[in-house]
């Protein structure tokens, strides 16, 4: 997956007290003696309750644990005091690795931030992940909309992306929940899921194509072709319906004009008449009696 490390803009406007700058300064200068550090029991560390990420790479955690066994924790874990414990602002991977490495205490820096700042930072930190899934990115943007009231243009400015990118990613949230779940589980890619957005109104067809994607691992191009066929068939049906309505109106006009039953079907017009006298009457109305 491509690197998605975003360069954020205007974080001071988001946090007010620049939580991001404080975290970056602390983690970027672990030997800075001006930053007060202390040690706390690992058992007293609690995860950020607003942290949307719940799945971590076990291999990376184990590799970090081996490094901690040799070098210790170089970057302190950043926390806030909460009741009798400490909630992690940044450094949950380090705390997990430290536990595997057998540490009892870990170095921390304590910041004073409120719940809203805690939640906002967790969302932004989550978007910065290199291995972020597209659906996770969409959910994070939605949270910025819901929590901060940001518009798509404002989110785009914050993450250094185009508004169209933000809009396209967020459109994934319009897909049925079972498709979103498949995206979250990496069972389907954005390339496979994106064409399904064009048939949201055709729920049965969408589900059928989705099930075929899962069963046959269709390529994005295969999905596009299936969706095009479904769209064309639906449009053809609608066109036929409109055509039928038009022909029905023409039939009624012809019947009123000729005073007899008229049907238009399969490329032909059928006019009903009763005997030669009625036929002559119809021909006269049509202006054909002098032609015979």
Q: Kindly report each contact of residues 54-58 with a partner whose C-beta sits within 8 Å and lies 24 or more positions away, as own/partner.
A: 56/92, 56/93, 56/96, 57/131
Structure tokens at 241: 């319906």
Query: CB-side exposure of 68: number of CA atoms within 13 Å?
Result: 24
Which of 27, 66, 92, 153 is labelled catalytic?
92
Q: State how far the Cα of 140 lies from the Cα of 19, in Å rounded to an integer.
A: 18
Helix axes 163-170, 134-148, angle to 10 degrees: 100
User: Going by DSSP bridges, is the β-strand pair 105-110/77-82 parallel, antiparallel, or unpaired?
Assistant: parallel
- 92 counts as catalytic: yes
Q: How far is CA 223 from CA 201, 208, 209, 211, 226, in A?
A: 17, 11, 7, 11, 5
The dihedral formed by the CA atoms of 89, 93, 96 and 102, expressed in degrees to the nearest 10: -110
Compute φ and ψ for 32, nearest 5 degrees.
-65, 115
Provide, for the chain, the percentages of residues in helix, strand and coil under a 3-state DSSP scheme, each rounded to the nearest 5: 60, 10, 30
Structure tokens at 39: 């040690």
- Active-site annotation, residues: 92
């Amino acid at each position: 997956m491509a690197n998605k490390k975003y360069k954020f803009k205007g974080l001071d406007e988001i946090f007010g007290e620049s939580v991001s700058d404080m975290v970056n300064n602390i983690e970027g200068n672990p030997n800075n003696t001006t930053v007060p550090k202390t040690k706390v029991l690992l058992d007293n560390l609690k995860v950020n309750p607003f942290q949307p990420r719940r799945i971590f790479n076990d291999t990376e955690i184990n590799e970090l644990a081996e490094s901690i066994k040799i070098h210790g924790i170089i970057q302190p874990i950043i926390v806030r005091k909460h009741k009798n414990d400490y909630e992690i602002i940044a450094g949950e991977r380090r705390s997990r690795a430290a536990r595997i490495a057998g540490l009892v205490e870990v170095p921390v820096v304590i910041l004073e931030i409120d719940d809203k700042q805690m939640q906002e930072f967790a969302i932004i930190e989550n978007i910065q992940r290199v291995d972020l899934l597209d659906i996770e990115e969409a959910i994070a943007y939605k949270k910025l909309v819901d929590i901060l009231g940001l518009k798509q243009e404002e989110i785009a400015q914050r993450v250094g992306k185009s508004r169209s990118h933000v809009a396209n990613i967020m459109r994934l949230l319009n897909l049925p929940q079972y498709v979103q779940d498949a995206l979250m589980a990496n069972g389907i890619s954005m390339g496979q899921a994106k064409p399904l957005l064009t048939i949201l109104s055709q729920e049965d067809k969408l589900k059928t194509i989705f099930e075929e994607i899962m069963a046959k691992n269709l390529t994005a191009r295969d999905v596009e072709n299936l969706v095009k066929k479904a769209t064309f068939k639906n449009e053809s049906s609608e066109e036929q319906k409109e055509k039928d309505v038009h022909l029905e109106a023409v039939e009624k006009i012809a019947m009123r004009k000729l005073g007899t039953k008229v049907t238009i079907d399969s490329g032909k017009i059928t006019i009903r008449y009763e005997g030669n006298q009625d036929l002559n009457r119809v021909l006269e109305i049509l202006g054909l009696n002098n032609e015979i």
